[in-house]
Amino acid sequence: MGDLFVVGVNFRVAPVEVREKLACSKEETRKILPILKREIPVEEIMLLSTCNRVEVYGYNIVDVSEKVIEKLLEIKKLPQNLKNYFYIKKGDEAVFHIFKVASSLDSMVVGEPQIVAQFKEAYQIAKESETVGKILNRVYEKALRASKRVRTETGISKSAVSVSYAAVELAKKIFGDLKEASVLLIGAGEMGELAANYLRRFGAKLHITNRTYEKALKLAQELGGNALRFEDLQGYLHLMDIVIVSTGAKHYVLTKELVERAIKKRNYEPMFVIDISVPRNVDPKMEEIDSVFLYDIDDLKQVVEENLKGRMQEAKKGEIILWDEVKKFMNWYRSLKVEPLILELKKSVEGLEDSKYLKKVVHRAIEQMKKNPEVADIILKIFKTEEVKKHESGRKELSDVYNRAYGT
Protein backbone atom coordinates (compact mmCIF):
# COMPACT_ATOMS: atom_id res chain seq x y z
CA MET A 1 0.00 0.00 0.00
CA GLY A 2 1.46 3.35 -1.02
CA ASP A 3 0.71 6.95 -0.14
CA LEU A 4 -0.82 10.07 -1.63
CA PHE A 5 1.35 13.16 -1.97
CA VAL A 6 1.28 16.79 -3.11
CA VAL A 7 4.30 18.81 -4.24
CA GLY A 8 4.08 22.36 -5.49
CA VAL A 9 4.38 26.10 -5.11
CA ASN A 10 1.70 28.75 -4.71
CA PHE A 11 1.36 32.50 -4.19
CA ARG A 12 2.11 32.10 -0.48
CA VAL A 13 5.54 30.51 -0.85
CA ALA A 14 6.86 31.67 -4.23
CA PRO A 15 6.94 35.08 -5.95
CA VAL A 16 5.37 35.50 -9.35
CA GLU A 17 8.77 35.39 -11.10
CA VAL A 18 9.21 31.82 -9.81
CA ARG A 19 5.63 30.71 -10.49
CA GLU A 20 5.69 31.97 -14.06
CA LYS A 21 8.82 29.90 -14.78
CA LEU A 22 7.14 26.77 -13.45
CA ALA A 23 3.77 27.44 -15.11
CA CYS A 24 2.69 24.83 -17.67
CA SER A 25 0.36 25.30 -20.61
CA LYS A 26 -2.11 22.54 -21.50
CA GLU A 27 0.25 21.31 -24.21
CA GLU A 28 3.20 21.25 -21.80
CA THR A 29 1.15 19.39 -19.22
CA ARG A 30 0.26 16.71 -21.77
CA LYS A 31 3.98 16.23 -22.50
CA ILE A 32 5.20 16.39 -18.89
CA LEU A 33 2.78 13.94 -17.27
CA PRO A 34 3.84 10.82 -19.24
CA ILE A 35 7.52 11.69 -18.65
CA LEU A 36 7.01 11.95 -14.89
CA LYS A 37 5.00 8.72 -14.77
CA ARG A 38 7.54 6.81 -16.86
CA GLU A 39 10.89 8.14 -15.71
CA ILE A 40 10.45 8.52 -11.93
CA PRO A 41 8.39 6.19 -12.09
CA VAL A 42 5.12 6.92 -10.31
CA GLU A 43 1.84 4.99 -10.19
CA GLU A 44 -0.58 7.91 -10.68
CA ILE A 45 -0.04 11.63 -11.24
CA MET A 46 -1.80 14.84 -12.32
CA LEU A 47 -0.63 18.45 -12.62
CA LEU A 48 -2.55 21.65 -11.84
CA SER A 49 -1.12 24.91 -13.20
CA THR A 50 -2.82 28.30 -12.64
CA CYS A 51 -1.55 31.86 -12.26
CA ASN A 52 -1.32 31.34 -8.50
CA ARG A 53 -0.03 27.77 -8.21
CA VAL A 54 1.74 24.86 -9.87
CA GLU A 55 1.06 21.58 -8.06
CA VAL A 56 1.54 17.88 -8.73
CA TYR A 57 -0.83 15.38 -7.12
CA GLY A 58 0.35 11.78 -7.02
CA TYR A 59 0.12 8.28 -5.61
CA ASN A 60 2.95 5.77 -5.35
CA ILE A 61 4.04 2.70 -3.41
CA VAL A 62 7.28 4.35 -2.25
CA ASP A 63 7.93 8.03 -1.52
CA VAL A 64 8.97 9.83 -4.73
CA SER A 65 7.94 13.39 -3.83
CA GLU A 66 11.51 14.74 -3.92
CA LYS A 67 12.16 13.01 -7.24
CA VAL A 68 9.02 14.58 -8.74
CA ILE A 69 10.28 18.06 -7.83
CA GLU A 70 13.75 17.39 -9.24
CA LYS A 71 12.36 15.90 -12.46
CA LEU A 72 9.90 18.75 -12.98
CA LEU A 73 12.70 21.32 -12.62
CA GLU A 74 14.84 19.29 -15.01
CA ILE A 75 12.07 19.13 -17.63
CA LYS A 76 11.47 22.88 -17.30
CA LYS A 77 15.25 23.47 -17.56
CA LEU A 78 15.29 25.34 -14.25
CA PRO A 79 17.99 25.32 -11.52
CA GLN A 80 17.56 22.70 -8.81
CA ASN A 81 17.84 25.31 -6.05
CA LEU A 82 14.27 26.37 -6.88
CA LYS A 83 13.10 23.26 -5.05
CA ASN A 84 13.55 25.29 -1.86
CA TYR A 85 10.27 27.02 -2.76
CA PHE A 86 8.33 23.74 -2.94
CA TYR A 87 6.14 22.29 -0.21
CA ILE A 88 5.47 18.57 0.23
CA LYS A 89 2.33 17.11 1.81
CA LYS A 90 1.54 13.44 2.36
CA GLY A 91 -1.33 11.22 3.44
CA ASP A 92 -4.41 12.88 4.89
CA GLU A 93 -2.65 16.29 4.81
CA ALA A 94 -2.24 15.86 1.04
CA VAL A 95 -5.90 14.92 0.62
CA PHE A 96 -7.00 17.90 2.73
CA HIS A 97 -4.84 20.23 0.63
CA ILE A 98 -6.31 18.93 -2.65
CA PHE A 99 -9.86 19.30 -1.31
CA LYS A 100 -9.00 22.80 -0.05
CA VAL A 101 -7.69 23.85 -3.47
CA ALA A 102 -10.72 22.43 -5.31
CA SER A 103 -13.03 24.24 -2.87
CA SER A 104 -11.23 27.58 -3.45
CA LEU A 105 -10.39 27.83 0.28
CA ASP A 106 -6.71 27.98 -0.68
CA SER A 107 -7.18 30.61 -3.39
CA MET A 108 -5.82 34.15 -3.27
CA VAL A 109 -9.43 35.31 -3.42
CA VAL A 110 -11.20 32.80 -1.17
CA GLY A 111 -14.40 31.53 -2.78
CA GLU A 112 -13.52 32.41 -6.37
CA PRO A 113 -15.25 29.96 -8.75
CA GLN A 114 -12.61 29.65 -11.50
CA ILE A 115 -10.51 27.06 -9.64
CA VAL A 116 -13.18 24.37 -9.97
CA ALA A 117 -13.05 24.53 -13.77
CA GLN A 118 -9.24 24.58 -13.68
CA PHE A 119 -9.18 21.54 -11.38
CA LYS A 120 -11.56 19.66 -13.69
CA GLU A 121 -9.45 20.52 -16.70
CA ALA A 122 -6.22 19.36 -14.99
CA TYR A 123 -7.84 16.01 -14.16
CA GLN A 124 -9.22 15.61 -17.68
CA ILE A 125 -5.76 16.14 -19.19
CA ALA A 126 -4.30 13.55 -16.81
CA LYS A 127 -7.07 11.11 -17.67
CA GLU A 128 -6.52 11.59 -21.40
CA SER A 129 -2.78 11.11 -20.79
CA GLU A 130 -3.56 7.88 -18.89
CA THR A 131 -1.61 8.97 -15.80
CA VAL A 132 -4.43 8.61 -13.25
CA GLY A 133 -6.07 5.47 -11.91
CA LYS A 134 -8.24 4.15 -9.10
CA ILE A 135 -6.77 6.37 -6.35
CA LEU A 136 -6.67 9.77 -8.06
CA ASN A 137 -9.99 9.07 -9.76
CA ARG A 138 -11.50 8.76 -6.30
CA VAL A 139 -9.61 11.84 -5.02
CA TYR A 140 -11.01 13.86 -7.93
CA GLU A 141 -14.57 12.64 -7.36
CA LYS A 142 -14.45 13.38 -3.61
CA ALA A 143 -12.72 16.75 -4.12
CA LEU A 144 -15.64 17.90 -6.26
CA ARG A 145 -18.08 16.60 -3.65
CA ALA A 146 -16.20 18.53 -0.95
CA SER A 147 -16.22 21.66 -3.11
CA LYS A 148 -19.97 21.41 -3.65
CA ARG A 149 -20.59 20.97 0.08
CA VAL A 150 -18.50 24.04 0.93
CA ARG A 151 -20.41 26.18 -1.57
CA THR A 152 -23.85 24.96 -0.52
CA GLU A 153 -23.32 24.69 3.26
CA THR A 154 -21.43 27.97 3.78
CA GLY A 155 -21.85 31.54 2.51
CA ILE A 156 -18.39 31.57 0.97
CA SER A 157 -19.50 32.54 -2.53
CA LYS A 158 -22.40 34.83 -1.66
CA SER A 159 -20.52 38.11 -1.11
CA ALA A 160 -18.79 40.08 -3.85
CA VAL A 161 -15.00 40.04 -3.79
CA SER A 162 -14.21 41.74 -7.08
CA VAL A 163 -14.74 45.42 -7.79
CA SER A 164 -16.94 44.64 -10.79
CA TYR A 165 -19.18 42.24 -8.93
CA ALA A 166 -19.32 44.51 -5.90
CA ALA A 167 -20.81 47.16 -8.18
CA VAL A 168 -23.52 44.71 -9.22
CA GLU A 169 -24.27 43.77 -5.60
CA LEU A 170 -24.74 47.44 -4.73
CA ALA A 171 -27.03 47.91 -7.71
CA LYS A 172 -29.16 44.98 -6.51
CA LYS A 173 -29.48 46.56 -3.05
CA ILE A 174 -30.78 49.79 -4.57
CA PHE A 175 -33.03 48.39 -7.31
CA GLY A 176 -33.83 44.94 -5.95
CA ASP A 177 -34.73 42.87 -8.99
CA LEU A 178 -32.46 43.94 -11.87
CA LYS A 179 -34.67 42.42 -14.54
CA GLU A 180 -35.67 45.07 -17.03
CA ALA A 181 -33.30 47.64 -15.47
CA SER A 182 -31.63 49.75 -18.18
CA VAL A 183 -27.82 49.79 -17.93
CA LEU A 184 -25.49 52.14 -19.79
CA LEU A 185 -21.79 51.29 -20.09
CA ILE A 186 -19.74 54.35 -21.02
CA GLY A 187 -16.34 53.26 -22.34
CA ALA A 188 -14.78 49.85 -22.84
CA GLY A 189 -12.59 49.40 -19.75
CA GLU A 190 -12.10 45.81 -18.55
CA MET A 191 -13.75 46.21 -15.13
CA GLY A 192 -16.66 48.13 -16.60
CA GLU A 193 -17.14 45.42 -19.21
CA LEU A 194 -17.17 42.76 -16.47
CA ALA A 195 -19.71 44.68 -14.41
CA ALA A 196 -21.92 45.16 -17.48
CA ASN A 197 -21.68 41.46 -18.26
CA TYR A 198 -22.73 40.54 -14.71
CA LEU A 199 -25.69 42.92 -14.90
CA ARG A 200 -26.79 41.45 -18.21
CA ARG A 201 -26.78 37.97 -16.63
CA PHE A 202 -29.24 39.25 -14.04
CA GLY A 203 -31.59 40.24 -16.86
CA ALA A 204 -30.73 43.93 -17.19
CA LYS A 205 -31.06 45.65 -20.57
CA LEU A 206 -27.55 46.62 -21.67
CA HIS A 207 -26.60 49.72 -23.71
CA ILE A 208 -23.03 50.62 -24.63
CA THR A 209 -21.52 53.91 -25.79
CA ASN A 210 -17.99 54.96 -26.61
CA ARG A 211 -16.33 57.97 -28.26
CA THR A 212 -15.44 55.57 -31.09
CA TYR A 213 -18.80 54.15 -32.17
CA GLU A 214 -17.23 51.11 -33.86
CA LYS A 215 -15.80 49.97 -30.48
CA ALA A 216 -19.19 50.34 -28.85
CA LEU A 217 -20.78 48.34 -31.66
CA LYS A 218 -18.19 45.54 -31.38
CA LEU A 219 -18.60 45.26 -27.60
CA ALA A 220 -22.39 45.40 -27.88
CA GLN A 221 -22.28 42.43 -30.25
CA GLU A 222 -20.04 40.49 -27.82
CA LEU A 223 -22.19 41.21 -24.76
CA GLY A 224 -25.56 41.11 -26.44
CA GLY A 225 -26.31 44.79 -25.91
CA ASN A 226 -27.36 47.87 -27.86
CA ALA A 227 -24.75 50.35 -29.19
CA LEU A 228 -25.46 54.10 -28.82
CA ARG A 229 -23.58 57.11 -30.15
CA PHE A 230 -21.63 59.03 -27.52
CA GLU A 231 -22.49 62.45 -28.95
CA ASP A 232 -26.18 61.73 -28.30
CA LEU A 233 -25.59 60.99 -24.57
CA GLN A 234 -27.73 63.89 -23.31
CA GLY A 235 -30.68 62.59 -25.32
CA TYR A 236 -30.83 59.11 -23.73
CA LEU A 237 -29.06 59.41 -20.33
CA HIS A 238 -32.38 59.96 -18.51
CA LEU A 239 -33.59 56.55 -19.72
CA MET A 240 -30.88 54.72 -17.79
CA ASP A 241 -31.26 53.27 -14.28
CA ILE A 242 -27.61 52.25 -13.91
CA VAL A 243 -24.62 54.00 -15.49
CA ILE A 244 -21.15 52.40 -15.44
CA VAL A 245 -18.26 54.64 -16.46
CA SER A 246 -14.99 52.98 -17.39
CA THR A 247 -12.94 55.05 -19.82
CA GLY A 248 -9.37 56.24 -20.19
CA ALA A 249 -10.36 59.92 -20.32
CA LYS A 250 -8.41 62.44 -18.23
CA HIS A 251 -11.49 64.54 -17.48
CA TYR A 252 -15.07 64.14 -16.27
CA VAL A 253 -17.24 62.38 -18.83
CA LEU A 254 -20.33 62.80 -16.62
CA THR A 255 -20.71 66.28 -15.15
CA LYS A 256 -23.05 67.36 -12.36
CA GLU A 257 -25.04 69.57 -14.74
CA LEU A 258 -25.53 66.78 -17.29
CA VAL A 259 -26.87 64.35 -14.67
CA GLU A 260 -29.06 67.04 -13.02
CA ARG A 261 -30.87 67.52 -16.33
CA ALA A 262 -31.26 63.75 -16.73
CA ILE A 263 -32.62 63.19 -13.21
CA LYS A 264 -35.25 65.94 -13.73
CA LYS A 265 -36.40 64.16 -16.91
CA ARG A 266 -36.66 60.95 -14.81
CA ASN A 267 -38.92 62.73 -12.30
CA TYR A 268 -36.24 61.99 -9.71
CA GLU A 269 -36.44 58.23 -10.12
CA PRO A 270 -33.18 56.73 -8.65
CA MET A 271 -30.09 56.54 -10.86
CA PHE A 272 -27.08 54.43 -9.82
CA VAL A 273 -23.73 55.72 -11.15
CA ILE A 274 -20.56 53.60 -10.85
CA ASP A 275 -17.22 55.22 -11.71
CA ILE A 276 -14.59 52.49 -12.12
CA SER A 277 -12.19 54.81 -13.96
CA VAL A 278 -8.78 55.89 -12.70
CA PRO A 279 -8.53 58.86 -12.85
CA ARG A 280 -12.21 59.42 -12.07
CA ASN A 281 -14.50 60.20 -14.99
CA VAL A 282 -17.52 61.27 -12.94
CA ASP A 283 -17.77 64.60 -11.13
CA PRO A 284 -17.81 63.72 -7.37
CA LYS A 285 -20.17 66.68 -6.73
CA MET A 286 -22.85 64.54 -8.36
CA GLU A 287 -23.53 62.85 -5.01
CA GLU A 288 -25.19 66.11 -3.94
CA ILE A 289 -28.02 65.41 -6.39
CA ASP A 290 -31.15 63.86 -4.87
CA SER A 291 -31.89 60.31 -6.09
CA VAL A 292 -28.38 59.84 -7.50
CA PHE A 293 -26.25 57.11 -5.91
CA LEU A 294 -22.57 57.58 -6.83
CA TYR A 295 -19.80 55.05 -6.10
CA ASP A 296 -16.18 55.27 -7.19
CA ILE A 297 -13.54 52.53 -7.17
CA ASP A 298 -12.47 53.26 -3.58
CA ASP A 299 -16.04 52.84 -2.35
CA LEU A 300 -16.24 49.51 -4.11
CA LYS A 301 -12.91 48.35 -2.69
CA GLN A 302 -14.23 48.97 0.82
CA VAL A 303 -17.18 46.72 0.02
CA VAL A 304 -14.78 44.08 -1.29
CA GLU A 305 -12.62 44.22 1.86
CA GLU A 306 -15.65 43.85 4.14
CA ASN A 307 -16.89 40.94 2.09
CA LEU A 308 -13.49 39.28 2.21
CA LYS A 309 -13.62 39.37 6.02
CA GLY A 310 -16.98 37.63 5.85
CA ARG A 311 -15.62 35.01 3.48
CA MET A 312 -12.72 34.24 5.80
CA GLN A 313 -15.21 33.48 8.58
CA GLU A 314 -17.12 31.20 6.23
CA ALA A 315 -13.84 29.57 5.21
CA LYS A 316 -13.39 28.28 8.77
CA LYS A 317 -16.73 26.51 8.48
CA GLY A 318 -15.61 25.18 5.11
CA GLU A 319 -12.48 23.60 6.59
CA ILE A 320 -14.58 21.61 9.07
CA ILE A 321 -16.57 20.24 6.13
CA LEU A 322 -13.34 19.37 4.30
CA TRP A 323 -11.93 17.38 7.24
CA ASP A 324 -15.19 15.44 7.36
CA GLU A 325 -14.76 14.55 3.69
CA VAL A 326 -11.06 13.72 4.21
CA LYS A 327 -11.98 11.29 6.99
CA LYS A 328 -14.46 9.51 4.72
CA PHE A 329 -11.92 9.30 1.92
CA MET A 330 -9.16 7.98 4.20
CA ASN A 331 -11.50 5.28 5.56
CA TRP A 332 -12.04 4.10 2.00
CA TYR A 333 -8.35 4.42 1.20
CA ARG A 334 -7.21 2.37 4.22
CA SER A 335 -9.80 -0.29 3.45
CA LEU A 336 -8.03 -0.97 0.13
CA LYS A 337 -5.17 -2.81 1.81
CA VAL A 338 -7.56 -5.44 3.22
CA GLU A 339 -9.17 -6.20 -0.16
CA PRO A 340 -6.81 -9.15 -0.84
CA LEU A 341 -7.56 -10.53 2.63
CA ILE A 342 -11.30 -10.18 2.06
CA LEU A 343 -10.99 -12.11 -1.20
CA GLU A 344 -8.98 -14.79 0.60
CA LEU A 345 -11.62 -14.96 3.36
CA LYS A 346 -14.40 -15.49 0.83
CA LYS A 347 -12.37 -18.19 -0.86
CA SER A 348 -11.64 -19.97 2.44
CA VAL A 349 -15.33 -20.56 3.17
CA GLU A 350 -16.39 -21.59 -0.33
CA GLY A 351 -18.43 -24.80 -0.40
CA LEU A 352 -19.04 -24.98 3.34
CA GLU A 353 -22.39 -26.27 4.66
CA ASP A 354 -24.91 -23.97 6.25
CA SER A 355 -23.95 -21.18 3.82
CA LYS A 356 -26.85 -18.97 4.89
CA TYR A 357 -25.46 -18.71 8.40
CA LEU A 358 -21.91 -18.28 7.15
CA LYS A 359 -22.94 -15.46 4.84
CA LYS A 360 -24.12 -13.45 7.84
CA VAL A 361 -20.93 -14.06 9.78
CA VAL A 362 -18.72 -13.40 6.76
CA HIS A 363 -20.60 -10.16 6.12
CA ARG A 364 -19.98 -9.03 9.70
CA ALA A 365 -16.36 -10.07 9.46
CA ILE A 366 -15.82 -8.10 6.24
CA GLU A 367 -17.36 -5.00 7.82
CA GLN A 368 -14.95 -5.30 10.76
CA MET A 369 -11.97 -5.85 8.44
CA LYS A 370 -12.78 -2.62 6.61
CA LYS A 371 -13.31 -0.66 9.82
CA ASN A 372 -10.24 -2.12 11.55
CA PRO A 373 -7.66 -3.10 8.88
CA GLU A 374 -5.08 -3.78 11.62
CA VAL A 375 -7.01 -6.88 12.81
CA ALA A 376 -7.89 -8.22 9.35
CA ASP A 377 -5.19 -10.91 9.60
CA ILE A 378 -6.65 -12.21 12.89
CA ILE A 379 -10.16 -12.46 11.44
CA LEU A 380 -8.85 -14.31 8.38
CA LYS A 381 -7.01 -16.84 10.59
CA ILE A 382 -10.22 -17.53 12.52
CA PHE A 383 -12.05 -18.40 9.33
CA LYS A 384 -9.25 -20.59 8.03
CA THR A 385 -9.26 -22.99 11.02
CA GLU A 386 -9.68 -26.64 10.11
CA GLU A 387 -12.51 -26.97 12.64
CA VAL A 388 -14.60 -24.45 10.74
CA LYS A 389 -13.95 -26.15 7.44
CA LYS A 390 -14.65 -29.73 8.52
CA HIS A 391 -17.43 -29.64 11.08
CA GLU A 392 -21.01 -28.39 11.03
CA SER A 393 -20.66 -27.99 14.79
CA GLY A 394 -17.95 -25.45 14.13
CA ARG A 395 -20.76 -22.96 13.61
CA LYS A 396 -21.20 -22.24 17.33
CA GLU A 397 -17.45 -22.36 17.91
CA LEU A 398 -16.86 -19.87 15.11
CA SER A 399 -19.50 -17.55 16.56
CA ASP A 400 -17.97 -17.75 20.04
CA VAL A 401 -14.43 -17.10 18.77
CA TYR A 402 -15.54 -14.22 16.51
CA ASN A 403 -17.59 -12.55 19.24
CA ARG A 404 -14.83 -12.89 21.80
CA ALA A 405 -12.47 -11.19 19.37
CA TYR A 406 -14.69 -8.08 19.55
CA GLY A 407 -15.88 -8.34 23.15
CA THR A 408 -19.51 -9.11 22.24
Q: Which of 239, 268, 302 is the last residue of a domain?
A: 302
What mean pLDDT value characterizes the chain? 85
Residue 335 lies in a domain: no
Q: Identify the CA nearest to 132 among candidates 146, 148, 119.
A: 119
User: Stretch 332-337: mean pLDDT, rounded?
Assistant: 82
CA atoms within a 13 Å half-sphere pointing along the CA-CB vector of 195: 36
In the listed set 153, 177, 192, which residue is the last one of a domain according to the structure? 153
**Type of residue at 389:** K
Interaxial angle between packed helices 65-75 and 26-39, expressed in degrees from 0 to 180 and rounded to the nearest 10? 130
Give the end of a domain, one of 286, 302, 318: 302
Domain count along the chain = 3
- In this structure, the strands spanning 182-186 and 44-49 are unpaired
Give Cα 326 to chain centroid, integer Å. Answer: 16
Where residue 175 sits, what CATH number does that domain have?
A: 3.40.50.720
Q: Are 144 and 243 found together in one domain?
A: no
pTM: 0.65
In a domain, 333, yes or no: no
Task: Establish if 264 belongs to a structural domain.
Answer: yes
Name the residue among 214, 229, 222 with its Cα closest to residue 184.
229
Whether 324 is covered by a domain: the verdict is no
| 148 and 123 belong to one structural domain | yes
Of residues 15 and 400, more confidently modeled: 15
Statement to judge: residues 241 and 378 lie in one domain: no
In a domain, 176, yes or no: yes
- Domain assignment of residue 123, given as a range: 3-153
Residue 171 and residue 122 in one domain: no
Q: Which CATH number goes with the domain that contains 113?
A: 3.30.460.30
User: Which amino acid type is present at position 236?
Assistant: Y
Same domain? For 137 and 9 the reply is yes
Residues 54 and 95 in one domain: yes
Q: Say if residue 222 is in the same domain as residue 361.
A: no
* Residues forming a β-bridge with 5: 58, 90
Q: What is the pLDDT averaged over residues 140-147?
A: 97
What is the rounded CA–CA span in Å between residue 68 and residue 54? 13
- 175 and 147 belong to one structural domain: no
- Own/partner long-range contacts of 48-51 (Cβ < 8 Å, ≥24 apart): 48/8, 48/101, 48/118, 48/119, 48/122, 49/22, 49/23, 49/24, 49/25, 49/122, 50/115, 50/118, 51/19, 51/23
| Cβ 405 vs Cβ 378: under 8 Å | yes
Residue-wise pLDDT tens digits, 87-134: 999 999 999 999 999 999 998 778 877 899 999 999 999 999 999 999
Q: CA angle 128-130-133, nearest 5°?
A: 115
Residues 177 and 132 in one domain: no
Per-residue pLDDT tens over the stretch 51-87 = 889 999 999 999 999 999 999 999 999 999 999 999 9
Q: What is the pLDDT of residues 377-391, one digit of tens each?
A: 666 666 665 445 554
Note whether 256 and 292 are within 8 A (CB): no
Residues sharing a CB contact under 8 Å with residue 322, sequence separation 6 or more, in sequence order: 96, 99, 100, 103, 105, 146, 150
CA dihedral for 159, 161, 164, 166, sign (positive or negative): positive
Which residues have a Cβ under 8 Å from the Cβ of 153 and sit 6 or more positions away?
317, 321
In a domain, 132, yes or no: yes
Mean pLDDT of 394-404: 50
Q: How confident is the model at residue 360 (pLDDT cuts 50, 70, 90)?
A: low
Judgement on whether residues 142 and 8 belong to the same structural domain of the protein? yes
Residue 138 and residue 17 in one domain: yes
Q: For a pLDDT cut of 90, what percent of the chain falls above it?
A: 54
Task: Identify the pLDDT of residue 387.
Answer: 44
Candidate list 20, 39, 41, 51, residue with the active-site label: 51
Distance CA 161, CA 164 (A): 9
Residue 24 designated active-site: no
pLDDT of residue 308: 79
CA distance 60 to 57: 10
